[in-house]
């Protein structure tokens, strides 16, 4: 059975002003997260992602529905039982949220003290964690003396201190530069692979999903509109809101305004070829176009690699004998999905 | 000038009395203010012990008593002083009333400084399973310690200021000294001498407070 299981979970916040309407942050969400998953939760800001993960470690209480963590219903647990639950769920934050009044060493030791770990076990455990995140030499420093990436590594060490089975990552790399992001993602990947920690990662960055996630859920207005394998959701988003989100991180079929720009600069017939099944060869497609005597130019698009599976959308401007183009395209429909965007008006040549 | 030299032992005694009144008032008022300030902070809506009712009551009490000018408060609270410490006059009475007045003032300063602790930091502590009382004691207060030290330094100066009216209820200290031997005897030099001592005390404490705050803030 799933490690974390949400059934019809709803969270409403009381109105901010007297007489206002309550705000539904999470709307009847059901989701299963298996042990060992790296589960991405994506969506625009305000979609309810942060609230959703805070329900899992009960930083927020659910209004209705059921949340099972490791088979235990957490809705209705007493505060003391919730504290025990939280010891088994680590959390890292966008703004790191380190304790500025404590050294790096004491930041990492804090959860262990909360868990009443015997003193002689705390020392070796903290040293071990700091060496895992590569910050042994910073033990006596204070958070303000660290860079953003180092702070997040301390955050990870602190979150892992009590050996939780679940790690919640709330936009954990959004405040970092691209290079540091990669560093932190590599570390999280090791956390998942070496310790078998299940990671639930909120993000709006494609990078994070691409390098880390195995499954993904798309949230919109408090609902999970789509979920599944990362490759499936990104290569074939079914719901409108996921299509919208995916299109902001993956270049798909050009929008009307983009098409207008393309038309100005390129003439010929413009088509978008969508590679969706992960093993279609672009080389093969190009070869067949060339063999049909069609001149083509790549004008827009991109190819994405998710854990070795490839998908993407390439927009081409095709020039040649129209019947030959028609024939070639109908021949290609068996291997790729084609969106015909039409011919640039002949007036452009005048 | 000769008067002043003759009065030096009295000036010394007045200084000691001022320090005694201020130190004890800061101690009791400081503790009271810390407790009420913690109450205000923790019961604030959305906070650890969020309670609209308790917060509302504390808020009204503090707002009612804090703005009363101290010299009026001193007179008005005299019956209460008699009830609690057994006397309405002298240093004991002024220490009691001053502690009470300082409690209200300090509680706001404590509340404001605790509010500077980032909510995310508290959330992080909750996420590792820390209890609310542990969060307050091991996290919120240490995180706000630098500003709190500066706040208490500020309060010290305010208490020195308020303690100067002790003479009205038969208390001693530099205020009484300056009025009794300086102002009433048309001897400005004596008044200025008291002023000088107060400036020195305030400077020394401000310096100490800044130094402590710098140490806790590490900058």
DSSP assignment of B133-164 equals: HHHIIIIIHHHTHHHHHHHHHHHHHHHHHHHG
Tens-digit pLDDT profile for residues A277-286: 767 778 888 8
Strand partners, A72: A69
Closest CA to A146 of A157, A155, A138: A138
Q: Quick one: pLDDT at residue A240?
A: 86
The nearest CA of chain B is from the CA of A90 a distance in Å of: 7
Please say if the pLDDT value at position A213 is more than 60. Answer: yes
User: For the purposes of burial, counting CB atoms within 10 Å of the CB of A70, is it exposed (0-12), middle (13-18) or buried (19 or more)?
Assistant: middle
Delimit the domains of chain B by residue range: 2-217
> Are A301 and A314 spatial neighbours (Cβ–Cβ below 8 Å)?
yes
* Dist. CA A113–CA A104, nearest whole Å: 14
> Of all residues in chain A, what percent carry a pLDDT higher than 90?
57
The nearest CA of chain B is from the CA of A167 a distance in Å of: 11
* Dist. CA A318–CA A296, nearest whole Å: 5
* Dist. CA B1–CA A176, nearest whole Å: 69
Q: Does domain B2-217 have CATH number 3.40.50.300?
A: no
DSSP symbol at A312: E
Tens-digit pLDDT profile for residues A114-162: 999 999 999 999 999 999 999 999 999 999 999 999 999 999 999 999 9
Q: How many CB pairs under 8 A join A and B?
A: 71
Q: What is the mean pLDDT of chain A?
A: 90
* Dist. CA A39–CA A303, nearest whole Å: 23
To probe the interface with A, which of B129, B146, B218 has the most A CB atoms within 10 Å? Answer: B129
Delimit the domains of chain A by residue range: 4-88+164-249, 256-349
The nearest CA of chain B is from the CA of A114 a distance in Å of: 6
Number of H helices, E strands in chain A: 12, 14
* Dist. CA A273–CA A285, nearest whole Å: 9
Q: Which residue of chain B comes nearest to A97, CA vs CA? A: B121
Positions in chain B whose pLDDT score sits under 70? 1, 219
Contacts of A84 in chain B (CB under 8 A): 129
Q: Quick one: pLDDT at residue A276?
A: 80
From the list B126, B131, B143, which residue is nearest A99 (CB)?
Answer: B143
**Range name among A12-26, A73-87, A218-232 with the lowest pLDDT average:** A12-26
Question: Cβ of A85 under 8 Å from any chain B Cβ?
Answer: yes
Q: Write the DSSP assignment of A133-180 as a string of letters.
A: TT-GGGTTS-GGGS-HHHHHHHHHHHHHTT--SEEEEESTTTTS-HHH
Three-class SS of residue B40? helix
Please say if the pLDDT value at position A348 is more than 50. Answer: no
Q: What is the CATH number of domain A256-349?
A: 3.30.70.260
Residue A173 sits at the vertex; the CA angle it makes with A156 and A242, to the nearest 5 degrees, is: 125
Q: What is the mean pLDDT of residues A263-273?
A: 88
Q: Quick one: pLDDT at residue A187?
A: 95
Same fold, A4-88+164-249 and A256-349: no
DSSP symbol at A347: G
Three-class SS of residue A203? strand
* Dist. CA A123–CA A161, nearest whole Å: 11
- Provide the chain A residues 114-173 that lie in CB contact (below 8 A) with chain B: 114-115, 142, 144, 158-159, 161-162, 168
* Dist. CA B165–CA A300, nearest whole Å: 82
The nearest CA of chain B is from the CA of A8 a distance in Å of: 24
> Of all residues in chain A, what percent carry a pLDDT higher than 70?
98
Whether B121 and A161 lie within 8 Å, measured CB to CB: no
Residues 6+ apart with CB under 8 A from B12: none
* CA B120 centroid distance within chain: 30
Q: What is the mean pLDDT of residues A294-301?
A: 90
Whole-complex ipTM: 0.86
From the list A93, A95, A111, which residue is nearest B128 (CB)?
Answer: A111
More confident residue, A33 or A333: A33
To probe the interface with A, which of B124, B125, B132, B133 has the most A CB atoms within 10 Å? Answer: B124
Q: Quick one: pLDDT at residue A342?
A: 84
Contacts of A91 in chain B (CB under 8 A): 124, 127-128
Three-class SS of residue A215? strand
Whether A97 and B139 lie within 8 Å, measured CB to CB: no
- The CATH topology of domain A4-88+164-249 is Rossmann fold (3.40.50)
* Dist. CA A128–CA A264, nearest whole Å: 60
Please say if the pLDDT value at position A165 is more than 50. Answer: yes
Tens-digit pLDDT profile for residues A64-86: 999 999 999 998 899 899 999 99
- Helix, strand, coil shares of chain B as percentages rounded to 5? 85, 0, 15
The nearest CA of chain B is from the CA of A117 a distance in Å of: 13
Q: Quick one: pLDDT at residue A46?
A: 84
**Pairing state of beta strands A198-203 and A166-170?**
parallel
* Dist. CA A55–CA A50, nearest whole Å: 9
């Amino acid at each position: 059975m799933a490690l974390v299981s949400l059934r019809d979970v709803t969270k409403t916040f009381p109105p901010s002003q007297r007489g206002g309407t309550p705000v539904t942050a999470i709307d009847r969400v059901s989701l299963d997260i298996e042990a060992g998953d790296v589960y991405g939760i994506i969506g625009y800001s305000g979609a309810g992602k942060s609230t959703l993960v805070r329900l899992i470690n009960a930083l927020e209480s659910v209004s209705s529905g059921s949340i099972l963590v490791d088979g235990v219903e957490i809705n209705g647990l007493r505060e003391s039982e919730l504290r025990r639950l939280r010891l088994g769920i680590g959390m890292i934050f966008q703004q790191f949220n380190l304790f500025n009044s404590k050294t790096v060493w004491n930041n990492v030791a804090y959860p262990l003290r909360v868990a009443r770990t015997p003193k002689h076990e705390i020392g070796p455990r903290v040293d071990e964690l700091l060496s895992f995140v590569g910050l042994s030499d910073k033990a006596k420093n204070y958070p303000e003396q660290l860079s953003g990436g180092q702070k997040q590594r301390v955050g990870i060490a602190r979150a892992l201190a009590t050996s939780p089975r679940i790690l919640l990552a709330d936009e954990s790399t959004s405040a970092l530069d691209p290079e540091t992001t990669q560093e932190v993602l590599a570390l999280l990947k090791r956390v998942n692979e070496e310790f078998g920690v299940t990671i639930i990662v909120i993000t709006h960055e494609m990078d994070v999903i691409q390098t880390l996630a195995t499954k993904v859920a798309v949230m919109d207005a408090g609902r999970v509109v789509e979920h599944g394998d990362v490759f499936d959701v990104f290569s074939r988003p079914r719901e409108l809101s996921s299509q919208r989100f995916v299109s902001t991180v993956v270049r798909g079929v050009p929008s009307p305004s983009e098409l207008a720009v393309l038309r100005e600069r390129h003439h010929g017939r413009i088509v978008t070829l969508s590679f969706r099944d992960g093993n279609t060869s672009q080389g093969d497609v190009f070869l067949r176009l060339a063999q049909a005597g069609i001149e083509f130019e790549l004008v827009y698009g991109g190819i994405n690699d998710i854990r070795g599976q490839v998908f993407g959308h390439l927009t081409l401007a095709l020039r040649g004998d129209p019947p030959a183009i028609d024939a070639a395209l109908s021949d290609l429909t068996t291997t790729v999905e084609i969106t015909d965007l039409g011919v640039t008006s002949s007036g452009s040549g005048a | 000038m000769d008067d002043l030299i003759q009065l030096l032992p009295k000036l010394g005694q007045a200084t000691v009395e001022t320090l005694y009144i201020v130190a004890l008032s800061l101690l009791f008022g400081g503790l009271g203010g810390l407790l009420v300030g913690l109450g205000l902070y923790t019961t604030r809506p959305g906070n650890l012990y969020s309670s609209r009712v308790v917060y509302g009551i504390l808020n009204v009490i503090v707002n009612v008593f804090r703005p009363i000018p101290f010299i009026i408060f001193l007179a008005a609270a005299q019956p209460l002083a008699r009830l609690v410490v057994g006397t309405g006059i002298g240093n004991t009475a002024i220490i009691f009333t001053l502690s009470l007045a300082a409690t209200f003032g300090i509680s706001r300063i404590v509340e404001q400084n605790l509010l500077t602790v980032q909510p995310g930091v508290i959330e992080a502590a909750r996420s590792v399973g820390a209890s609310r009382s542990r969060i307050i004691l091991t996290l919120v207060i240490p995180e706000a310690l630098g500003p709190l030290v500066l706040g208490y330094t500020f309060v010290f100066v305010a208490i020195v200021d308020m303690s100067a009216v002790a003479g009205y209820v038969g208390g001693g200290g530099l205020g009484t000294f300056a009025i009794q031997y300086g102002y009433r005897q048309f001897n400005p030099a004596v008044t200025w001498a008291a002023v000088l001592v107060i400036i020195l005390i305030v400077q020394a404490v401000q310096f100490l407070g800044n130094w402590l705050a710098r140490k806790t803030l590490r900058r």
